[in-house]
Structure 1
Amino acid sequence: MTFPPPYDTWFADAEFDAAYGHTLATLREIAPVPAPDGFTARWQAWRAQAKTVDAAPAVLSTESIHGRRVSIIEHAGVDGIRLRAWLVEPVSPPAQVGVVHSHGYGGRDAIDLARIPEDAAAIFPVARGLPTLNTGIGAPEIQAEHVLAGIENPDDYVLGLCARDLWLAADALTALVGRVPLYYVGESFGGGIGALALPWDDRYIGATLIVPSFGQYDERLAVHCLGSGETVRDHVAAHPDAREALRWFDASSALGFARVPVRVEAALWDPYVPPPGQFGVANAARMLELAVLPAGHADYPGADEVTAEAVRGGRAHLARALRAASAP
């Protein structure tokens, strides 16, 4: 595939240029937003509080899918609500690694095993409020309401709660399949909240973040998009003080504190999660493997081949992280 791709042909009917005038070179120069004073202490306090919550997982139903045991489970969120998720057990137990696999802002209605090795256990958590398993539970379902829920108070802001819920989802996974090293996979919404949660959980050996959201709010708030960022941009325009609240939930600020290898699959063209925000997250990683995608949140010629290559790259990154973690 040639770079830059022929966006004028691929997206001739697009409302605007979702490359935002950037090239790969200019995107690689975007700096993460510096963390505010007290950032580490606040997230560490949230992590400590989450450790006092019993995930108390319960298996609700079980079936066989592609030779794997797949269960719908229920576990606690950080504030005591009960959230549902899918649990996948390996073809031949015991599991060698556990994958926490989050989703985009549309929620999840089924599991996707493409990035799950056969020797891995996995949990597919569904964020509070989002379909299908947790529709309206703990947060509004409608995206424009969800992304603003609790923004007035950092302790209550939904993005922080969703990130903190990931720690409980990991607790549920290890309670049910045993103590294993963890690897994170998250796309879009899931990439952003994963970047927020990852640095404070020492069970992780690595992560893949795919077109991650909630990164580099200075860039996100400066441009129009079709995703949740536009709702936040409108809100901050009407309530400028909200910009300060967002500093605690910038994925580009958080990821710099992660000390494990991170693969970021970032797009050059994306109308839903502007590429400057994605690359702000990527550029924060201490141990970065960068995969550059022609476009995100869009169909384009050759997209299936690009996705297949990205999946292969992500699985290879997981395998290397596991080998490194297992080395004497």
Structure 2
Amino acid sequence: MSIPVTHPFAFDPTYGMKLPDLQAIVPPEAPPGFDPFWQTRYKRAIATDPQPVLRISALTHPIWQVLDIVYTSTGGIRIGGWLLLPRDRPVRRGLVVGHGYGGRDAPDFDLPVEDAAVLFLCFRGLSLSPHPPIPPDASGHVLQEIDKPDDYIIGGCVDDLWLAVSTLLSLYPWLAGHIGYSGVSFGGGIGALAIPFDLRINRGHLVVPTFGDRERWLTLPTVGSADSVQTYQKTHGSVLEALRMFDAASAATRIKVPMLAAVALFDPAVAPPCQFAVANALSTSKYNEIFILDAGHFDYPGSTEQNALLREKVRHFFKVL
């Protein structure tokens, strides 16, 4: 392993922790009412008719047919994105793909899946899913209704993921039992919150997931979304009690399906202790795997090789979906 030594940050993105320290982190217990909160939210969300609208995209690709897609999520919010369909083979599985807090301006054509309908959504307020007054930037987005658990933007984004699954099933009913999720950073945290309460999602891939161990998340220096929440706390008081209901590590203890998690030893945007809180929350099932990256949200020597290894694991992981 070659953790970056030189970096431009005013803090240590390893937080002084090595792999054994990170692997020893215990995920926090969920607060009272955690399961009923999410179960009720899920039932309410999937009662929504996604009403997907498709059109041929201006984007083209030799392997994938590209469609622009818009569907309805909770609150009547229209969610935009792209649907990729294989040009030369039937659709046998489905995959919903989230994104980081930088949003998404195009689908990832190099995702190593085949025979799949792949839905790249843009979570509410971001990229192709603008919805004023939701701020379109990460620092503002993460604060939207933060003191109101029922209305907090993170819960709405979980709804968007669940409605993406509903959208795939409305278009391709035979995909029931064969739908996965893949999310990085922000999308990884949303996935950890969504997967345990949606039995329609059969396996998940989370890369450097955020929102784990909120108590740590609120205290460790970072250049990520936690920084704006930490700043907010200084003038508005602690938001920990509200955010405990949105702890990705607490949620991950409830995941029962096969998972592939990739977590980093060095990360200035999502503190590694918070990432490992999510990964460590997953069961020790033989179907789960934790892949260790030297760094996240940062270019480093060897990143190409590590990402190639991870890509092959992803290929095999979703092949059996």
Instruction: State the TM-score, normalized to the length of structure 1.
Output: 0.92
CA-CA distance at 1:118 after TM superposition = 2.1
How has the CA–CA distance of structure 1 residues 95 and 236 changed in structure 2, closer, same or farther, with 3 Å as cutoff?
same
Q: Secondary structure at the match of 1:79?
A: helix
* Aligned positions, number: 315
**CA-to-aligned-CA distance 1:39-72 (integer Å, 9 cap, x gap):** 1111000010012100000113335423211101
CA-CA distance at 1:17 after TM superposition = 1.2
Partner of residue 82 from structure 1, selected from 78, 94, 101: 78
Contact kept, 8 Å, 1:99 with 1:116, in 2: the verdict is no
Q: Distance in 1 between matches of 2:82 and 2:90?
A: 18
Q: Given residue 17 of structure 1, which amino acid in structure 2 is its aligned partner?
A: D
Match of 1:326 in 2: none
Match of 2:23 in 1: 28
- Computed over aligned residues only, the root mean square deviation of the Cα atoms, in angstroms, reads 1.5
Q: Distance in 2 between matches of 1:237 and 1:276?
A: 22
Gaps of 5+ in 2: none
Match of 2:258 in 1: 261
Match of 2:292 in 1: 292
Partner of residue 186 from structure 1, selected from 183, 187, 203: 183
Q: Identity of aligned pairs, percent?
A: 40
Give the stretch that moved more between structures: 226-235 or 190-199. Answer: 226-235
CA-CA distance at 1:319 after TM superposition = 2.3
Q: Given residue 16 of structure 1, which amino acid in structure 2 is its aligned partner?
A: F
Contact kept, 8 Å, 1:144 with 1:231, in 2: the verdict is yes
Is structure 2 residue 87 aligned with structure 1 residue 91?
A: yes
Q: Secondary structure at the match of 2:84?
A: strand
**CA-to-aligned-CA distance 1:108-156 (integer Å, 9 cap, x gap):** 001113334121111000011112x123456210221100101121111
Q: Distance in 2 between matches of 1:317 and 1:59?
A: 29
Q: Distance in 2 between matches of 1:55 and 1:93?
A: 26
Q: Distance in 2 between matches of 1:98 and 1:12?
A: 39
Q: Please show how residues 1-328 of structure 1 align to structure 2 within 5 Å.
A: 3=1, 5-8=2-5, 11-62=6-57, 64-131=60-127, 133-137=128-132, 139-180=134-175, 181-286=178-283, 287=285, 288-320=288-320, 322=321
CA-CA distance at 1:241 after TM superposition = 4.2
Contact kept, 8 Å, 1:83 with 1:137, in 2: the verdict is no
CA-CA distance at 1:77 after TM superposition = 1.2
Q: Given residue 21 of structure 2, which amino acid in structure 1 is its aligned partner?
A: T
**CA-to-aligned-CA distance 1:295-326 (integer Å, 9 cap, x gap):** 00001112111111111111212224x2xxxx
Q: Given residue 109 of structure 1, which amino acid in structure 2 is its aligned partner?
A: D
How has the CA–CA distance of structure 1 residues 13 and 148 changed in structure 2, closer, same or farther, with 3 Å as cutoff?
closer
Q: Secondary structure at the match of 1:7?
A: coil
**CA-to-aligned-CA distance 1:259-309 (integer Å, 9 cap, x gap):** 101111000000000000000000111243100000000011121111111
Q: Secondary structure at the match of 1:18?
A: coil
**CA-to-aligned-CA distance 1:160-202 (integer Å, 9 cap, x gap):** 1001111111111222233311111000000000111111111
Q: Given residue 77 of structure 2, which amino acid in structure 1 is its aligned partner?
A: I
Q: Secondary structure at the match of 1:65?
A: coil
CA-CA distance at 1:79 after TM superposition = 1.2
Instruction: State the TM-score, normalized to the length of structure 2.
Output: 0.94
Contact kept, 8 Å, 2:192 with 2:248, in 1: the verdict is yes
Q: Distance in 2 between matches of 1:6 and 1:220?
A: 21
Gaps of 5+ in 1: 323-328
Q: Distance in 2 between matches of 1:27 and 1:208?
A: 20
Contact kept, 8 Å, 1:89 with 1:177, in 2: the verdict is no
How has the CA–CA distance of structure 1 residues 14 and 152 changed in structure 2, closer, same or farther, with 3 Å as cutoff?
closer
Q: Given residue 111 of structure 1, which amino acid in structure 2 is its aligned partner?
A: P
How has the CA–CA distance of structure 1 residues 174 and 149 changed in structure 2, closer, same or farther, with 3 Å as cutoff?
same
